[in-house]
Amino acid sequence: MAATTGSELAMLPIISKLYCASSEVVLFVRQRPHAVNGGGFVVTDCSQNVVFRVDGCGVLGTTGELILRDGIGNPVLLIRRKGGMVQALSIYRKWKGYSYDYEGSQRLVFSLKEPSNSCFVRNNAIRVSTEPRTGKGDWDFEVKGYFPDKACSIVDPRGNIVAQIGVKKEIGQLMKENKDLYHVIVKPRIDQAFVFGVIAVLDYIYGESTTC
């Protein structure tokens, strides 16, 4: 079988085809205050149905660990931060996302490399590789933009946007009053669970709702 390229990979389910829609989807993220349920965030659709929920370390009681759950609370992804490693004179932390199968066992599905001091550098590239590796390049997706501004995208190696994080105009005024609400546009055939697994890590890296 021919090796899969990064752009082709973006069209395949990374966690499960259950989370891939045939058309573009707009989902809304509401961050939970640390004082309520210990932190994390909830993802809803336009009808306010819960699609995903992320539990941060305030809920789990463990730093550097996150759980992405589906709308009814079943665990979909376990995400853990590994220790730092020296690479080209820079210190990197690596996050690893593991999916749960029907019997509860874990399978590595993606890795995200967090550069040192990423919170303070707006243009510091954050790259994600999916597992198992295909042997083509060392990353499959890249986060462009600045997550704390809620103005960033997840792109494939060809620069195609697979998910876009921002603020819709109709909730712009609400955002001025409530900094904990934003939206995510997920392109057709893109794995939504993977997208929100990456967003959960970004939320933690930048010290938002999933941190203690």
Q: Residue 62: inside a domain, yes or no?
A: yes
Q: Residue 194: inside a domain, yes or no?
A: yes
For the chain, how many structural domains are there in total? 1
Compare 69 and 10 and report the one with higher pLDDT: 69
Mean pLDDT taken over the chain = 81
Q: What is the pLDDT of residue 83?
A: 65
Write the CB contacts of 167 (distance below 8 Å, at least 6 apart in sequence): 150, 175, 182, 183
- Vertex 157 angle, CA 153 and 162, to 5°: 35
Q: Residue 116: inside a domain, yes or no?
A: yes
Q: What is the pLDDT of residue 96?
A: 95
What torsion do the CA atoms of 199, 202, 207, 212 make, to the nearest 10 degrees? 60
Q: pLDDT at residue 91 above 80?
A: no
Q: Residue 6: inside a domain, yes or no?
A: no
Q: Residue 8: inside a domain, yes or no?
A: no
pLDDT tens column, 124-164: 679 999 987 765 678 899 999 999 989 999 999 889 999 99
What CATH number is associated with residue 88?
A: 2.40.160.200
Q: Residue 45: inside a domain, yes or no?
A: yes
Q: What is the pLDDT of residue 3?
A: 38
Q: Residue 200: inside a domain, yes or no?
A: yes
Q: What is the pLDDT of residue 131?
A: 86
> In the structure, what pLDDT confidence band is assigned to residue 179 with cuts at 50, 70 and 90?
low
Its domain, for residue 132, covers 21-205
Percent of the chain residues past pLDDT 90, beyond the cut: 52
Average pLDDT over residues 96-110: 85
Say which range, 5-9, 65-69, 134-138, 154-158, has the weakest mean pLDDT: 5-9
- Give dist(CA 6, CA 12) in Å, integer: 10
Q: Residue 212: inside a domain, yes or no?
A: no
| 3-class state of residue 138 by DSSP | coil
Write the CB contacts of 89 (distance below 8 Å, at least 6 apart in sequence): none
Average pLDDT over residues 31-55: 83
